[in-house]
Amino acid sequence: MFTYEVTEFGKLPTGEIVHKITFGNGEIIVSVIDFGAAIQSVRMKDKQSHMEEIALNYNTIDDLLANAGVFNGATVGRYANRIAHGKFTLDGVNYEMCVNNGPNSLHGGKVSWGHKMWQFEKLETADAIGVKMTIVSPDGDENYPGEVTMSVSFILNTKNELTLQYSGRTTKRTVINMTNHSYWNMSGDFKQKIYPQILKVNAATYLPVVDMIPTGERRPVADSPFDFREGRPCEQALAIDGGGKPGLDHCFCLDGYKEGALELKEAASLYDKESGRLLRVFTTEPGMQVYMGNWIDGVFPHLQHNAVALECQHFPDSPNHPDFPSTVLDPSETYKQTTVFAFSLL
């Protein structure tokens, strides 16, 4: 039996009310807020039927605003991840965005869609419950071309699958790269680091970076700490330099991707043996940025390596790499991408 409830999460400094939409199926309970179209909470039973939080979250809007740079659970756009020096050229026109992450533009610029209010509406069918979030971004927003209308639907079904469906249109040719920035700890106990949890990533190659920008090479993961194809403890990633801190903050090139096909493929999984909780991630996207919270250094539970983000998306800096899968959206097209978080017990 499905449940659905809308409550007040808090108020922005402008006085605008932020709503929390909570829906569940008896096994999984999801909360999404209309600020940033963010997954605020995901609660799941373990093999002993204990219901616990598995998504890193903030419980008040004030805490969320004070830590906005974490992008906790947010729907990130217009352009998720980084664009080198905040610059790209499209159809002979040079565009320059806010540089907000070292020398680069991150997650859409100064005010990401993950930090804006979205409109919401309830979704319900015989075998699913959820919410649809919609934002209208004006032409020139953060210096990106085109008025863009983007929606993301969060749909929980009876199979314990949380599906995120993105759909968008633009009035001018532009670039779009969407992702969800939830962080996961499948133990349900954020006093535990993610180190023993088993991460599997279905990718034979990844994108090496300089100053967190892809070099253009697709490097094999074989015989390196980046090889998670068979499932390895997250602790293996401590041998990797994730932008000046140990841990992953890299984009993997997912196996089986065919540009334009929009075929769901299994990208990754995260498993906690003690609780029995398993998260499997399926997506139509070509890449997945795995970020282990290397730079998170706040108040418990927001600590380094307490959770891992599995961000399905196109490759970073794609507008400056013609050989990468394209992120260009034409007014004659509809932006479509899907990511599925499938929860189960082993």
List the binding residues for beta-D-galactose.
81-82, 181-183, 249
Q: What are the binding residues? A: 81-82, 181-183, 249
CB 281 within 8 A of CB 310: yes
User: Tokens representing 337?
Assistant: 């991408």
* Residue-wise DSSP of 190-236: TTS-STTSEEEE--SEE--EETTEE-S--EE-TTSTT--TT-EEGGG
User: Tokens representing 206?
Assistant: 């990844």
CB atoms within 10 A of CB 11: 12
CA 274 to chain centre: 26
311 is catalytic: yes
* Catalytic one of 107, 115, 181, 321: 181
Angstrom distance (rounded) from CA 255 to CA 136: 33
CB atoms within 10 A of CB 7: 9
User: Tokens representing 326?
Assistant: 């394209």
CB 153 within 8 A of CB 165: yes
DSSP helix/strand/coil, 336: strand
Residue whose tokens read 């997506």 = 283
Angstrom distance (rounded) from CA 71 to CA 173: 27
CA 26 to chain centre: 25
Phi, psi of 65 (to 5 degrees): -65, -35
161 is catalytic: no
* Catalytic one of 142, 161, 285, 311: 311
CB atoms within 10 A of CB 284: 21
The CA-atom distances, in angstroms, between 61 and each of 4, 9, 19, 78 are 21, 7, 10, 22
Q: Which residues contact 7 (CB under 8 A, 6 or more apart)?
A: 19, 20, 22
Q: Which residues are catalytic?
A: 181, 311
